[in-house]
Amino acid sequence: MLAIDAPPGQGKTHQPFVHYRCLCSSPGSSATASTKSSSSSIHDHEADSTAAGTSSAADMNIDNTAASSSSPAPSSAGALIVRASPTSHESLFSEHHNPRSTEEIFASGNSSDEHGSMSLSRLYFCDSCGEIRCPKCTQDEIVCYYCPNCLFDVPTASVKSEKHKCSRNCFECPICQNTLSVVSDDPDVSLYTPGMTTAAGQYHLSCNMCQWNSNEIGMTFDKPTGLAVQLQKAEDGLPDVKEFGRLKDHLEKYFRVHGLKQGLPSSLLSSIQSGTLQSLRYVSSTNHKAQQSDDIAHYTPAVQVVEDTENLEKLMSITSLDETTSMKQRLLQLQNQTYSTQRLQPQRIHLRIKKSRRCRSCRHILVNPEQKAQATRFKINLVALNQLPNITIAHIQPMIVQTVSTVILRFTNPRQEEAHVSLEAGDGANPNHGVRILSENFTIAPFNEVWEYEVGTLTAPPGQAQEDVYDKTANSTSIMLYITPVAPGEVKIPLFVTFSFKARKLQTETGSPKLPSQLVLSGAAGRDSMPPAPEVEYVDKKVSFWTVIGFGDAVPTLSS
């Protein structure tokens, strides 16, 4: 009757998650569209809710400290998805950005629809706008090019001519796309020395993964270096390149003649006035003088390529799928897209880029890596993880319809200032599950590097334990929620979070985005634990945003 003991993997189960919502994606129109889609998705949930129910084991303990490290590693236990919606803050120095009022934000994101929501690790927090930014409302810019295999920086000047591929000795296997290595036929020659004479064609490429070897296609090299140049030359000498060049010359002549010929357009126009379609009219007037010069002159191709009919015969007699190339292999070799695995060629490895990212509305840079390929540090790193409270589900009970379940949410403060959080459950969800928040207002202690070394529970600093919270450790506070699911299916609730803290006031009036406390270098290095100088002025800053929190699937009551 109940599918509680259905084997895992059967049916679709929903994992608990915490998503922050970025309101950039259609705050207004999504309200209507999202209601619809969420109701249809509820439909799906009902259909497989019988098979659900197993997901919410009690050990949904997502560790907070792991999530607060700078790498956005999704927890394997269940994705934490926190969706950031518009956040506003009423700090003095950013008034000219017209932050949206809290009420406005509340109205726009009050829905459990996940559209536009993401886990916190994906999001950025723009300081000057005081809003959460998702990848969609940021803009990428290229910082530098490098080869992912040899990690060499490629100067911009040569990127284009090398066709965005590595010009060193980096190749990928045509069969399995793994990295190839240059090997010698002679096992004794481990290192190539320039002075040494070697047998011609002694070197070849070999794949350690699938054992492919470039000898198979008759590709050998005399030297172990400079192979990329040879390969690129071969690629550029293919018939399609020659033919393309010829075509370009040919059409260029044609276009040039046309550019000079002024009479043509008027003749076209007159044909339209006669009421027939211009092209038809034009075509049928065969003795029109323009016709001769109008059509493209006779073309003689530069090359002639014969279709490979062997292909067909081979294809008729294959017995296994592996004898033909897969679409992926074929599409890496666009000049002939061969069916035959014998004709696949090794490819040079494609370059990658480092990107910086800007806020689309205020144009400030949110993330800017260092220019060297091998460096992993960031010059600017305004990721949301370092600036907004990180919400995780610390404990969860299985959701059962019409039964109260207890959930514990843990809020972690990544900032070095004490933060106040107030919560409000949204009522725009569909279905609207019963939610009771036990402590709606609470504080979180500031982040302090010391915490990272302390093991065990730490009570809140003295004098602050009066709040009615579930638990308070280090820089995190846990609170309790009572959830009463009203319908089977996935339980998702919108939760409105207002987060306020004292930020150091900027010296300049223009409001540069780089608050010292938020200019965070990657790793903990940037978090200078130096106590702020007493003369620094503080301003209250308030950030509000929506989150969507999912608690897995609710199962029908046992009585039903």
Partner 1 sequence: MALPLSKIRDLSFKTSIYGIEERIVLDIGSCYLKCGFSGEARPRHFLSMFLSEEALDDYLGLNAISEQHVGHECGESCNLRSNQNCRGINPYEYAELYQLDMMRKNSSGQTEQERLQILEERLADYLNDVYFKYLLTDPKQRKVIICESPLAPIALKESIAKVLFEKLQVPSVSFTPNHLLALLTTGTATGLVIDCGHLETTVLPIYSSRPLMPFIRTTPRAGKFLSTHLKQLLKEKCPISLVDNPTDLRIIPEGMLTSAFLETIKTRLLFASPLIINARDNIGEDEMNNNYRDVSTSTEVNVEVWLHEEQARGKLAIPGWIRERASECLFNGDEDAESLTDVILETVSKVPSDLRRPMISSLLLIGGTAQLPNLQNRLLQEIRRSLQTNKRWKALSGLADAVRFLDDFTPAEASLAAAAAAATSTSAAGLGASSSSPMDVDPETSAPPRTTTRDKDPRKKKKDQPKKVYQSSGKVFMPNCRGWIGGSLVGSLKSSGPELLRENFTGTVPDWSTFTVVSASSGLYSSQSTSSSSTGLHQQQQQPLHSEGTLAASALSISY
Residues 388-417 that bind partner 1 (CB under 8 A): none
| DSSP state letter for 399 | E
DSSP per position, 57-122: -TT----HHHHHSSS-PPPSSS----B--------GGGGGG-PPPHHHHHHHS-S---TTEE-GGG
Q: Which positions from 433 through 462 interact with partner 1, judged by CB under 8 A? A: none
Q: State the Cα–Cα distance between residues 171 and 149, nearest whole angstrom.
A: 9
Applying CB under 8 A, the span of 212-220, 288-296, 504-512, 551-559 interacting with partner 1 comes to 288-296
Q: Which positions from 513 through 552 interact with partner 1, judged by CB under 8 A? A: none
Applying CB under 8 A, the span of 57-65, 290-298, 396-404, 447-455 interacting with partner 1 comes to 290-298
Q: Please report how close the Cβ of residue 260 comes to partner 1 at its closest, in angstroms.
A: 8
| DSSP state letter for 507 | S
Q: Does 466 bind partner 1 (CB under 8 A)?
A: no
Among 49, 50, 108, 114, binds partner 1 (CB under 8 A): 114
Q: Does 135 bind partner 1 (CB under 8 A)?
A: yes
Q: Does 319 bind partner 1 (CB under 8 A)?
A: yes
Q: Does 282 bind partner 1 (CB under 8 A)?
A: yes
DSSP per position, 238-275: SHHHHHHHHHHHHHHHHHHHHHH--HHHHHHHHHHHTT
The dihedral built from the CA positions of residue 400, 402, 403 and 408, taken in this order, carries a sign that is positive
In three-state form (DSSP H/G/I as H, E/B as E, the rest C), the secondary structure along 15-31 is: CCEEEEECCCCCCCHHH
Among 20, 93, 125, 145, binds partner 1 (CB under 8 A): 145
**Cβ closer to partner 1: 359 or 423?**
359
Among 63, 185, 222, 310, binds partner 1 (CB under 8 A): 310
Q: Please report how close the Cβ of residue 477 comes to partner 1 at its closest, in angstroms.
A: 28
> Shortest CA distance to 94 belongs to which of 423, 477, 429, 518?
518
Applying CB under 8 A, the span of 241-249, 458-466, 484-492, 528-536 interacting with partner 1 comes to 241-249
Question: What distances in angstroms separate CA 128 from CA 120, 359, 361, 509, 514, one per listed residue?
Answer: 19, 9, 10, 12, 8
What angle (nearest 5°) sits at the alpha carbon of residue 305, between those of residues 304 and 308?
155
Q: Does 157 bind partner 1 (CB under 8 A)?
A: yes
Neighbours of 256 (CB within 10 A): 10
Q: Does 337 bind partner 1 (CB under 8 A)?
A: yes
Q: State the Cα–Cα distance between residues 435 and 155, nearest whole angstrom.
A: 56
**Cβ closer to partner 1: 134 or 373?**
134
Q: Does 312 bind partner 1 (CB under 8 A)?
A: yes
Among 3, 26, 198, 451, binds partner 1 (CB under 8 A): 26
Query: Whose structure tokens read 């016709």?
Result: 291
β-strand 441-444 against 489-504: which pairing, if any? unpaired
Q: Does 161 bind partner 1 (CB under 8 A)?
A: yes
Q: Does 324 bind partner 1 (CB under 8 A)?
A: yes
Q: Does 296 bind partner 1 (CB under 8 A)?
A: yes
How many residues touch partner 1 (CB under 8 A)? 110
Q: Does 233 bind partner 1 (CB under 8 A)?
A: no
Neighbours of 67 (CB within 10 A): 23
Q: Does 160 bind partner 1 (CB under 8 A)?
A: yes
Structure tokens at 397: 């009970």
**Cβ closer to partner 1: 111 or 473?**
111
Neighbours of 77 (CB within 10 A): 15
Q: Which positions from 68 through 87 interact with partner 1, judged by CB under 8 A? A: 81
Among 140, 185, 222, 454, binds partner 1 (CB under 8 A): 140
Q: Does 40 bind partner 1 (CB under 8 A)?
A: yes
β-strand 17-21 against 538-555: which pairing, if any? antiparallel
Q: Please report how close the Cβ of residue 36 comes to partner 1 at its closest, in angstroms.
A: 7
